[in-house]
Amino acid sequence: MEDKLHQFFSENNFDLNEPNAGHLERFERKLNYPKQKKNSWKWLSVAASVVLVLGFWLGSYHQKRQLDLADVSPKMEEVQNYFVSTINQEIKTLESNRNLDTETIIENALEELEELEDNYKVFIKDLNKNGKQRRVISAMIKNYQRRLDILERTLDQIDKLKNLNNIQNEIYI
């Protein structure tokens, strides 16, 4: 081990000379010299944060709120709440019946619902663009009705499929 250390120090050229004259005085002067205040960027980061928060607030404040069916009247809000809650409940029922036999039926129904959701977004844009026109409101309600019809039809298909499977199982027993 000693040989390796000796070899290391002999191969590397280390600076073993004394420091320049006055080194100690310069060093002590730097230690005793009051620290200069560096430009503190903390104030800039605080200012940037304030500007950012203010920008978000102004952006959300000035952002135009989109109208929905519930904004038309209290009755329409009631209608929308009914449809949304019923559709969500039917979707939960649909998902609880998901298995290998019903997978394609359920996926087809969900694709149809997604297409109707895209149509509904167009109706919302029309409502915001053209105001509270009866034809737009009627189309929005019909869209909800179609969604419910699709869900009910799908659940009926699943029930028929279950009954068919039960009858086939009874025959094999």
Q: Which of 149, 82, 80 is nearest to 113 (CA)?
A: 149
Q: Tally the domains of the chain.
A: 1
User: Would you say residue 153 has pLDDT above 90?
Assistant: yes
Say what the pLDDT of residue 48 is.
72
Position 161 in a domain: yes
Average confidence score pLDDT of the chain: 80
Domain annotation covers residue 6: no
Phi, psi of 86 (to 5 degrees): -65, -45
User: Strand, coil or helix: what is 104?
Assistant: helix
DSSP summary character for residue 12: S
Q: How far is CA 144 from the centre of its chain?
A: 25
Structure tokens that stand for 148 in this block: 């419910």
Print the domain residue range for 147: 69-172
In this predicted model, which residue has the larger pLDDT, 149 or 101? 149
Greatest Cα pair distance in the chain: 109
Contact 127, 139 (CB under 8 A): no
Could you tell me the pLDDT band of residue 61, with boundaries at 50, 70 and 90?
low
The answer to whether residue 78 sits within a structural domain is: yes
pTM score, whole prediction? 0.58
Task: For residue 126, tell me if it sits in a domain.
Answer: yes
Distance of CA 153 to CAs 74, 103, 108, Å? 30, 15, 12
For 94-123, what is the mean pLDDT? Answer: 89
> pLDDT higher for 108 or 46?
108
Q: What is the mean pLDDT of residues 53-75?
A: 67
HSE, side-chain direction, 13 A CA sphere, residue 19: 6
Structure tokens, 103? 């997978």
Say what the pLDDT of residue 65 is. Answer: 57
Residue 46 is assigned to a structural domain of this protein: no
User: Is the predicted pLDDT of residue 148 greater than 90, yes or no?
Assistant: yes
Residue 164 pLDDT > 70: yes
Helix (H, G, I), strand (E, B) or coil at 37: coil
Q: Quick one: pLDDT at residue 36?
A: 60
| Residue 50 domain-assigned (yes or no) | no
For 1, the token pair is: 């081990």
Q: Does a structural domain hold residue 3?
A: no
Q: Band the pLDDT of 125: cuts 50, 70, 90.
A: confident
HSE of 33, CA atoms in CB hemisphere, 13 A? 9
Evaluate whether residue 49 is within a structural domain. Answer: no
CA distances (Å), origin 41, targets 25, 34, 36, 47: 33, 20, 15, 10
Does residue 137 carry a pLDDT above 60? yes
